Amino acid sequence: MALINLNFFSEALGIQTSALVVIPQKSTNGEIGIKNKNTADKYKCLYLLHGLSDDHTIWMRRTSIERYAAQYGLCVVMPFGAKSFYTDMKMGMNYYTYIAKELPCIIEDMLNVSDKREDRYIGGISMGGYGALKIALKEYGRYCAAFGLSSVADINNIGFEDVLLPVFGGEIPKSDDLFCLAEEHNSDDIKPRIYMTIGTEDFMYEDNIRLSKHFDTLNYDFKFVQTDGAHSWDLWDRTVQSAMKWMMKQAD
């Protein structure tokens, strides 16, 4: 695997920005302790989103995401999303357009990454879990699967009014509400596969339970897992492995 610190210009944001990318290396003869899955094809790609208090480096610092990706021959792109809730902000930048639409085009243009829907995934923790589920539901023609770990499941019940005000400008529209989006897109011809997990001691546990029950009433390929743990990296380092195993098993 190779690690790339990618610095580039985003037209959606109007600024230079950064993403960390781990991507398979074709030949790794002599590398010790790592099992790489190589392919002659273009790589499948996971866009992995950070939480509210983090940045794009956090997955590399708190987990072994590079090692987890190596066993699948998977490219992982970790972009910076600020405190945007992965939204085109009312008083800020267009982070939804950037991450949902522009970033895959940039990655697929620069790197040996597939542009096929069935090879494109998105996931995240907390705010990033909310962003991943929202993006997958709205961009169902672009992403085949999404996972949310300890997600902000109910954006209307999270609090953090001072953070949400510049994002949504007051009232949160239905187009940014996961409950509404799941129902709105239930009749779509194609839908993303959805995986959610939450720790039983997480302060957003009840919201995740309600969203999972909502998905159960709809026509989605949906899996929900609850486990011991709180809103912490101890849990996310475990559950991202389970989410990736589910995601890539479905892809075989």
The answer to whether 70 and 246 have CB atoms below 8 angstroms apart is no
Fold that domain 2-251 belongs to in CATH: Rossmann fold (3.40.50)
- What is the C-alpha to C-alpha distance for residues 4 and 23, in angstroms, rounded to an integer? 8
- What is the C-alpha to C-alpha distance for residues 51 and 129, in angstroms, rounded to an integer? 8
The residue whose two tokens read 């897992």 is 225
Give 236's contacts (C-beta < 8 A, 6+ positions apart): 62, 63, 125, 149, 150
Using 50, 70 and 90 to split pLDDT, how confident is the model at 41?
A: confident
Provide the pLDDT for residue 228: 96
Mean pLDDT of the chain: 95
- What is the C-alpha to C-alpha distance for residues 172 and 102, in angstroms, rounded to an integer? 24
- What is the C-alpha to C-alpha distance for residues 223 and 149, in angstroms, rounded to an integer? 12
Q: How far is CA 58 from the centre of its chain?
A: 13
Q: What is the DSSP string of 66-127?
A: HHHHHTTT-EEEEE--TTSTTSB-TTS-BHHIIIIIIHHHHHHHHSSB---GGGEEEEEETH
The answer to whether 142 and 116 have CB atoms below 8 angstroms apart is no
Taking only the tens place, the pLDDT of each residue in 48-66 is: 999 999 999 999 999 999 9
Provide the pLDDT for residue 191: 97
Phi (first) and psi of residue 36, to 5 degrees: -95, 135
Using 50, 70 and 90 to split pLDDT, how confident is the model at 143?
A: very high
- What is the C-alpha to C-alpha distance for residues 196 and 147, in angstroms, rounded to an integer? 6
Provide the pLDDT for residue 156: 95
Provide the pLDDT for residue 26: 81
Using 50, 70 and 90 to split pLDDT, how confident is the model at 30?
A: low
pLDDT greater than 70 at residue 70: yes
Largest CA distance in the chain: 57
CA distances from 103 to 1, 54, 109, 193, 229 (A): 21, 19, 10, 21, 33
- One-letter amino acid identity for 118? E
